[in-house]
Chains A and B, each alone.
Chain A
Amino acid sequence: MDSMARALTPKDLSGDPRRRRRESTVKFLFFTAGLVSIALSVLIIVSLAGEAWSFISQVELSSLWTIGWFPRRGLYDIPTLLIATIIIAGIGMLIAIPLGLGAAAYLAEYASPRMRKWLKPTLEMLAGIPSVVLGFWALSFISPEVVQRLFSTAKPFTMMAAGIAVGVLITPLIATVSEDAMRAVPTPLREASYGLGANQSTTVRKVVFPAALSGVVASLILALSRAIGETMIVFMAAGAVGGALRTWNPLQPGQTMTAAIASLATGSDQVAGEGLAFQSLFFVGLLLFLLTLALNSMSNRIVRRFREQYT
């Protein structure tokens, strides 16, 4: 009972030292796990940039601007890949924007709760279909049944077929993210519009849509980034496996940045550990990484600002 008489010191209140040691060990472990994602980012940048740099420092600059992308022949025409990426992502967006936004607006503003309960999971299911499946479908259905019927001159492998399939892939993404943005618009805004005598279609077009615009724009940027980063559809359906000529014609085969990487990596004469063609893979990968990073952070920033608006 001697200790009772002594005044309490902070040491007495700080508890069992073993328990405290365990606390700091656990905290350190969690902190390390958090570091893994930082490490991953660093590894991605280092591995891409290292090989990309040795590519840029060895390649003849004139071979970066020629007639097409034929890495095995030493022709690394970057515009070929960029143009094909723009064409395919552009066709995809042209298809996905009306379908996705229309579906989002109907689900958010018109659909009865029961209808929504069935339709939204179906859309989400469409979002879960692996891209290799859409690549197969682009080749076996969209190309012969859609593209070649509309344009009799089209070949089996076209950027058009790949673009349409990319559109199908990103439609549910636009629909679900935009629908969330439209549902986040507070009901009083709609009621104010009805109170002024507006009907539902006017309210949707002139009140809900503008109020949800930042979320909608964010969803579109996200979808664009996904379209640019999509590999399997383009690789399977747009052809041009050995290389591609520079062309703006969507009825021609083409190779995007992603497909160029996949095709080089799976070529019949598998790229060895050395050589310029192997390093060009990483250069294209770095371009792709930076492009999608810029789009994603733009979309994230818009979403954050949008979230602050109503909460």
Chain B
Amino acid sequence: MTAATDRKRKATADAVSASIRSGGPNWKPLAFQGLLLVLLLTSMLILVALLADIAVSAWPTFQSRGLSFVTSGLSLNPETAGVFTGIVGSLVIAGIVIILAFPIGVAAAVYLEEYAPDNRWTRFVDTTVRNLAGVPSIVYGLLGLAIFVPLVRNIGLGGSTSGKNVVAAGITMAALVLPIVVITAAEAIRAVPSSIREAGFGVGATQWEVIRSHVLPSALPGILTGTVLTLARALGETAPLLVIGVATGYFAPAGNATMFDQLTGSYTALPVIVFSWTRQTQAEFADTLAPAAIIVLLVVLFILNGVAIWLRNRTEKKW
């Protein structure tokens, strides 16, 4: 009887082992691992090829122009054209995004994490935010065209562009990144342990006092990191700006115009310059100036990412 059971057991073990091993020879697992490594390295190689190709094309521009490429504005002449106008536009847009999206987004996250009861309404708001984060950026461009451009015109900031200016662009970008700010801030707030809050309540603090003096300071590193990364995303977006009437050709920069005229006149942004130079008929713009503008854009994004990592490492708390 024991022999029969043993035989049965052995047969079962063999069957299990054979089915799990798929009965293959030993080189198969190695080949599989090799295949995965090749796929991973291919992804990396594409990144290297992309950066190398663009850097090589951009090199002559930086070699002959140096920093004057960064400090000179738009021009029809490829010898003197620079990205300064785009940098200014991008900075103003980033400023408006910080002013609008950051406070509203963090406040919404505080509401969702600290105040909102766990009911249908809260889940609805939560789902809405998640869905908004997945809406293609060009749809936000349409939103800007239909709502924000007329809004800017109606509040008297239309200027010579009748609303198709950097103010409308900033509001549109703020709407675009708002859901992402809410999601990252909510994650940072959720990571604050509830014992921190309970300590505050225990000494008689009200909810707002606990949020202000305990929750927000503890969540700040996460919130800041998320905000900086969000800003990087806003700086790289091009499509919504095209829809709401960013200038894709040459325009005379408002040299000594008033602050109001500069804010409400034609504008461009760093990624938009890459796009419009690619479409120029003069070959120099597409062949050497556009890659140089890409390098400037990537350097800006790289610095922002570096700031985010630095913030995270410097202020990270372990609970």
Contact = CB atoms under 8 A, between A and B. Distances in A.
Nearest to A51: B146
Interface stretch (B28-36, B59-67, B70-78): B28-36
18 contacts: A23-B206, A34-B125, A48-B143, A51-B146, A102-B38, A106-B33, A106-B36, A122-B44, A123-B43, A128-B236, A131-B238, A136-B294, A140-B287, A197-B21, A200-B29, A258-B239, A261-B138, A266-B243
A119 B238 contact: no
Nearest to A24: B208
Interface stretch (A37-45, A59-67, A147-155): A37-45
B301 interface: yes
Contacts of B104: 33, 36
Given A37-B128, A135-B278, 17 more contacts: A15-B206, A36-B104, A41-B131, A44-B132, A48-B142, A103-B39, A103-B43, A119-B40, A126-B46, A130-B237, A130-B301, A140-B57, A171-B46, A202-B29, A231-B136, A262-B243, A292-B135
Interface of B: 16-17, 20-22, 28-29, 32-33, 35-40, 42-44, 46-47, 49-50, 53-54, 57, 103-105, 107-108, 110-112, 114-116, 125, 127-132, 134-143, 145-147, 175, 178-179, 182, 206-208, 232-233, 235-239, 242-243, 245, 248, 271, 274-275, 278, 286-287, 290-291, 294, 297-298, 301, 305
A202 B36 CA distance: 13
Given A123-B43, A197-B17, A292 B278 contact: no
Interface string A24-35: 001101110110
Given A19-B206, A99-B39, A288-B138, A202 B290 contact: no
A248 interface: no
A36 B74 CA distance: 37
B131 A110 contact: no
Interface stretch (A4-12, A73-81, A293-301): A293-301
Contacts of A82: none
Chain B contact residues: helix, strand, loop or mixed: helix
B21 A126 contact: no
A38 B128 contact: yes
Interface of A: 15, 19-20, 22-23, 26-27, 29-31, 33-34, 36-38, 40-41, 43-44, 47-48, 50-51, 98-103, 105-107, 110, 119, 122-123, 125-126, 128-137, 139-141, 168, 171-172, 175, 193, 196-202, 204-206, 222, 225, 228-232, 235-236, 258, 261-262, 265-266, 270, 281-282, 285, 288-289, 292-293, 295-297, 300
